[in-house]
Amino acid sequence: MRNQEKIFVIGHKNPDTDSICSAIAYADIKNRTSQKVKYIPKRAGQINEETEYVLNRFGMQPPGYLSNIGTQIKDMDIRMSPEADKSMSLKNAWDLMMDKSIVSLPIRDREGQLEGLITIGDIAKTYMDTTDSYLLSRAKTQYRRIAETIAGTVVEGNEHGYFTKGKVLVGTANPEMLKAYIEPDDLIIMGDREEDHLQAIAQNVSCIIVGMGIEVSEKVIKLAHEREIVIIMSPYDTFTIARLINQSIPVRYIMKTDNLVTFNTEDFTDDIQNEMIKHRHRAFPVINKKGKCIGTISRRNFLDMHRKKVALVDHNEKDQAVDNIDKAEIVEIIDHHKLGSLETMVPISFRNQPVGCTATILYEMYGEQKLEISPSIAGLLCAAIISDTLMFRSPTCTLSDKMAAGALALIAGINIEQFAKEMFKAGSNLKDKSPEEIFYQDYKKFIAEDEINFGVGQISSMDSDELAEIKERLVPFMVSECGRHGVTRVFFMLTNIIEESTELLYYGEGSEEMARIAFHMEPKDGVFDLKGVVSRKKQLIPALMEAAQAGQNDYN
């Protein structure tokens, strides 16, 4: 039986405060309104200082990191393997495999770690090899296992001992003839004649097997006891005993132990397909995160994979989504951005509203579901609105955002202006960060006309001196970054919250022309000074998109 179905709630890569807080809040809404499904908040990137401050302020744990939403081995129907250890006989292994209808049997130690692997083919090959009379002794077969295999009983001797030297033979000749070919330490299968038994003892064999349920005499038992010879009584006839006895050898003797091809439950199916094709085994052992073997998978398991289910918040662009999003099943989207490039196989619930923040939509959903909002969740949602709207200064801010933030602040018990200053101060503390960390802290990729790929990062601060320092560090980094990940043009917004303005840095062939067309101005000292521009979503991206289209039309 599979565990309770899980749906991951996740925001975009390089998550901001809205992306993280909305994932937490939406999982809270769904878990309080649905019984059969467990919603789990996740993040597709590292949390920035602003978000970390908000989570700590309201005593919330950050969502777990999920870098790839692709299908993993743990999403397959792993065939759980029965308990099997290396001391069991081939017959035990064969019976177990027949009972469970499996072709490969992982052999594990007491801790559950993989020690070897045995297949139906391995056992069949051993059954077919009937010419090796020393097979049992070379395999160091336990007398107890021999007795089990022939449905017999050890009537004398140590059943826990091992047959380690000598050959297996059938003693059907008269005692004089037996002398010629019985050697010390042999294992001999015999009939009911006492004189044969006594001759075998005289030859100092290690084990006598008597068939047909025949009981040996007290004299034979006594002499065998003195010489520490094992006697096994079986109900089978001599032919059947001889045919079955090789099946008593321990699994460890023939199991594969070297160069085993195993997979981990965390492995992505995209990464293992070539290995499966290359080796062509019927089944492959699966190891879990604790190093224990839990079962096997085969190529057939690819037909019934369970794609991960995911609800997206604060984005609907494929390039901004967690890696391998096309391998997951998107069940819902909650967003406030323009329609993007994601596609789904079936219709889904897609709530997209023209507000300044996803958290505002979630505030409305709490009301629609008549759910009480806890002070901690209220604090998260209020922080997200303040962050996304730059404390209501962004042109994306609506009356709904302001009303939601006000109501949430009352529940959370915070003063918006004071809290905003503390939050922005925490978020703009970038002195100890590398240029790369600053650049990617809030960075998104976009595709314009004629497949023009460009990236836009943004840092918002209430400190103009700090922004100036960041500018000096970022300019050389942008030069080295341009051209990576298919991005031909990079822009960076240094946004001053107090002055409600942005210095736009740019690099890459065509980037200056693109910004010049977008804002109808000339750059100064390698920077576009954009007064009144604070929103990437509403003010910058649409203008750059139109500029890219206009530039392409001019070219045509």
CB atoms within 10 A of CB 554: 9
Is there a domain that residue 131 lies in? Answer: no
- 31 and 121 housed in the same domain: no
How many domains, in total, are found in the chain?
A: 4
Is there a domain that residue 523 lies in? Answer: yes
CB atoms within 10 A of CB 109: 13
pLDDT in tens, the chain (556 residues): 356 789 999 999 989 999 999 999 999 999 999 888 999 999 999 998 899 999 999 999 999 999 999 989 988 888 888 999 999 999 999 999 999 999 899 999 999 999 999 999 888 888 776 678 899 999 999 999 999 999 999 999 999 999 999 999 998 777 777 787 889 999 999 988 898 899 999 999 999 999 999 999 999 999 999 999 999 999 999 999 999 999 999 999 999 999 899 999 999 988 888 888 888 788 899 999 999 999 999 888 776 778 899 999 999 999 899 999 999 999 999 999 989 889 888 999 999 999 999 999 999 999 999 999 999 999 999 999 999 999 999 889 999 999 999 999 999 999 999 999 899 888 877 777 888 888 888 888 888 766 788 999 998 887 888 888 889 889 888 887 777 777 889 999 999 988 899 999 999 989 999 999 999 999 999 999 999 999 998 899 999 999 988 765 554 4
Q: Are 311 and 332 in contact (CB under 8 A)?
A: yes
331 burial type by CB count under 10 A (0-12 exposed, 13-18 middle, 19+ buried): middle
- 234 and 297 housed in the same domain: no
Fill in the amino acid letter for 529: D
> Where a domain ends, among 248, 267, 290?
248
CB atoms within 10 A of CB 46: 15
Is there a domain that residue 17 lies in? Answer: yes
- 222 and 364 housed in the same domain: no
- 544 and 528 housed in the same domain: yes
Residues 6+ apart with CB under 8 A from 457: 438, 439, 440, 441, 442, 443, 444, 490, 491, 492, 493
Is there a domain that residue 132 lies in? Answer: no
- 377 and 468 housed in the same domain: no
Assign residue 164 the CATH number of its domain. 3.40.1390.20
- 117 and 261 housed in the same domain: yes
- 180 and 263 housed in the same domain: no
Domain around 18 = 5-70+308-426
Is there a domain that residue 135 lies in? Answer: no
Is there a domain that residue 516 lies in? Answer: yes
- 421 and 322 housed in the same domain: yes
DSSP letters for 467-526: HHHHHHHHHHHHHHHTTGGG--EEEEEEEETTTTEEEEEEESTTHHHHHHHHHTS--BTT
Give the C-alpha separation, 450 to 20, whole Å. Answer: 33
Assign residue 14 the CATH number of its domain. 3.90.1640.10
In this prediction, residue 107 carries a pLDDT of 95
Assign residue 97 the CATH number of its domain. 3.10.580.10
Spacing of C-alpha 201 from chain mean position: 61
In this prediction, residue 426 carries a pLDDT of 86
CA distances from 484 to 68, 184, 453 (A): 20, 77, 11
Torsion from C-alpha of 335, 339, 344, 347, nearest 10 degrees: 70
Give the C-alpha separation, 359 to 320, whole Å. Answer: 18
- 398 and 465 housed in the same domain: no
Assign residue 505 the CATH number of its domain. 3.10.310.20
Backbone angles phi, psi at 374, to 5 degrees: -70, 155
Residues 6+ apart with CB under 8 A from 426: 49, 50, 52, 53
- 407 and 387 housed in the same domain: yes
Is there a domain that residue 411 lies in? Answer: yes
> Where a domain ends, among 379, 405, 426?
426
Is there a domain that residue 134 lies in? Answer: no
In this prediction, residue 438 carries a pLDDT of 87
Give the C-alpha separation, 210 to 224, whole Å. Answer: 13
280 burial type by CB count under 10 A (0-12 exposed, 13-18 middle, 19+ buried): exposed
> Where a domain ends, among 408, 426, 444?
426
In this prediction, residue 197 carries a pLDDT of 93
In this prediction, residue 479 carries a pLDDT of 83
Whose tokens are 């994932």? That residue is: 23
- 500 and 444 housed in the same domain: yes
CB atoms within 10 A of CB 258: 5
167 burial type by CB count under 10 A (0-12 exposed, 13-18 middle, 19+ buried): middle
- 175 and 226 housed in the same domain: yes
